[in-house]
């Protein structure tokens, strides 16, 4: 059975001539990756960095074709996709920097010594590649979180081969980006089987279940992610499943901030909610505003900005249908008022944006209906009467990827809200909007369950590489046997912790 490519703008479907992968195909891809794993782990850090840079260059060389295909399969527009491709290439080059730095290895050396516990042997520890990594492409970012996305970049940076499951929403884009990765891999002499691509729903299940796969990275819905997570844990040998699953991402406006910046905050909320048709996992879904004139002015500004919009194309027809069903469901919830809708896009998968309102009592009474993510351009304003009331409401919410606070300098409500956010989310923002996740050394994109399957790790930023590594401690190894990262002369010039003291070599 061949894979179909759907154009959400025109409604046209194209036969790609790409066959869905059978379980045998997945097994062959995993076997090829496993065959590459041992050699890949021995390649130098500098070679690994050059590989990542070569992939970025290959993607840039194919930019015109890749962007055109992605636009035809997502309707996201050439400008947005051009920016996303730049981000995608930056991710590969960024991880090349991470690799060359070498700090990710966590190299530690403890020379033999006498201690209060008695003699201690020579102990040295570093992180090593985990093995074959399965990667699931996401629907909403056909480049930066898909085949050439951050999971792929960080896994290759860790020295792990990958088997990537293409998202069904953009098969031709997936194939084109994979071809660029493959070409670059061949150019630098990567071991055969270092990168692999499979298609189809059954292929995804087979990938998680294959005994050669050591870990999986996933970005998508809670339902799909949790189902795959359960399969990963029920294997004879369970494996880590790093799923980023989305959340409602609360945003709180203090009374002082509403009084000072009602217009700007209201318009900013709508910009964040509607960005990319609301198809961002970091979209704010619940916006807490103070009851009273300042809160009313903020909401009015948001509604005015929303109804002036024309709607947008969603990624697929089924995603649009689920979104509109969710909006229709909100329409039926007692105590919830629809504040307004934007116009509807005329494209095949076109839709609108919507804003709703309720009070804290309604949120508490209809918690299951209101405190869940609706993927698309919709948000609920929740009016609160006091600091104690909003803090109690926040405490009842599930964990989130982000938590945003809009406040003023020396805001009396700021510290308590900040503490609530730290307890609830992986990233806490002040006077900003959560849509958009930067690639940097300090970024964390994740959160406690159900926002993600592991609160300890991130799918974006330098420490995303940590998911694909495991520690090994070497005791009393002869000097010639030591990995380069753990040698006393530090030939790699990387950070080492020696007898408890962190040392950074001059380069």
Catalytic residue check, 39: no
Contact of 121 with 129, CB cutoff 8 Å: no
End-to-end CA distance of the chain: give it in Å, rounded.
54
78, 88, 144 from 84: Cα distances, Å: 10, 6, 6
287, 288, 374, 379, 395 from 249: Cα distances, Å: 9, 11, 11, 10, 13
Active-site residue among 84, 244, 389, 398? 244
- Give the span between the Cα atoms of 60 and 177, in whole angstroms: 10
- Give the span between the Cα atoms of 442 and 414, in whole angstroms: 23
Burial label for 263, CB within 10 Å (0-12, 13-18, 19+), is: middle
Burial label for 345, CB within 10 Å (0-12, 13-18, 19+), is: buried
Strand partners, 5: 14
Buried/exposed code over 418-452 (b: 16+ C-beta within 10 A; e: otherwise):
bebbeebbbbbbeeebbbebebeeebbbbbbebbb
* For helices 255-274 and 293-307, angle between their N-to-C axes, nearest 10 degrees: 20
DSSP class of residue 480 equals G
Catalytic residue check, 89: no
Question: Among the residues of 285-359, which ranges form H helices?
Answer: 293-307, 317-331
Strand partners, 497: 108, 502
Q: How far is CA 479 from the centre of its chain?
A: 41
Active-site residue among 281, 324, 374, 398? 281
Catalytic residues: 244, 281
């Amino acid at each position: 059975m061949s894979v179909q490519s759907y154009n959400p703008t025109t409604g046209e479907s194209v036969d790609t001539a790409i066959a869905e992968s059978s379980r045998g195909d997945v097994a062959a891809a995993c076997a090829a990756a496993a065959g590459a794993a041992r050699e890949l782990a021995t390649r130098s850090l500098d070679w690994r960095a050059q590989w990542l840079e070569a992939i970025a260059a290959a993607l840039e060389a194919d930019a015109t074709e890749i962007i055109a295909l992605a636009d035809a399969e997502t309707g996201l527009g050439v400008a947005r996709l051009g920016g996303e491709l730049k981000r995608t290439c930056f991710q590969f080059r960024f991880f090349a920097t991470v690799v060359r730095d070498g700090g990710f290895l966590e190299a530690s050396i403890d020379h033999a010594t006498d201690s209060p516990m008695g003699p201690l042997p020579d102990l040295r520890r570093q992180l090593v590649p985990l093995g074959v990594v399965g990667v699931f492409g996401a629907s909403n970012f056909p480049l930066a979180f898909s085949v050439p996305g951050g999971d792929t970049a960080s896994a290759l940076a860790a020295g792990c081969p990958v088997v990537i499951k293409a998202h069904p929403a953009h098969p031709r884009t997936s194939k084109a980006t994979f071809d660029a990765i493959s070409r670059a891999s061949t150019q630098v002499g990567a071991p055969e089987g270092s990168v692999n691509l499979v298609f189809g729903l059954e292929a995804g299940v087979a990938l998680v279940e294959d005994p050669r796969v050591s870990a999986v990275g996933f970005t998508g819905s809670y339902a799909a992610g949790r189902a795959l997570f359960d399969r990963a844990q029920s294997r004879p040998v369970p494996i880590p499943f790093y799923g980023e699953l989305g959340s409602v991402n609360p945003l709180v406006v203090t009374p002082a901030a509403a009084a000072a910046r009602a217009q700007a905050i209201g318009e900013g909320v709508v910009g964040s909610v509607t960005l990319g048709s609301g198809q961002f996992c970091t979209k704010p879904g619940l916006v807490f505003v103070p009851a009273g004139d300042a809160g009313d002015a903020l909401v009015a500004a948001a509604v005015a900005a929303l109804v002036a919009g024309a709607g947008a194309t969603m990624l697929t027809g089924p995603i649009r249908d689920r979104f509109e069903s969710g909006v229709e469901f909100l329409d039926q919830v007692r105590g919830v008022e629809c504040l307004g809708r934007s116009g509807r896009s005329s494209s095949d998968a076109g839709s609108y944006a919507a804003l709703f309102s309720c009070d804290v009592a309604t949120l508490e009474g209809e918690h299951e209906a209101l405190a869940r993510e609706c993927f698309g351009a919709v948000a609920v304003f929740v009016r609160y009467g006091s600091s104690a009331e909003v803090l109690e409401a926040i405490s009842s919410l599930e964990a989130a990827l982000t938590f945003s606070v809009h406040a003023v300098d020396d805001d009396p409500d700021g510290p308590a809200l900040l503490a609530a956010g730290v307890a609830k989310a992986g990233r806490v923002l002040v006077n900003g909007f959560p849509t958009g996740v930067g690639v940097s050394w300090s970024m964390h994109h994740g959160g406690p369950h159900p926002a993600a399957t592991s609160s300890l790790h991130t799918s974006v930023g330098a420490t995303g590489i940590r998911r694909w590594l495991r520690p090994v401690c070497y005791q009393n190894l002869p000097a010639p046997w030591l990995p380069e990262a753990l040698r006393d002369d530090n030939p790699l010039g990387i950070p080492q912790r020696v007898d408890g003291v962190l040392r950074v070599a001059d380069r």
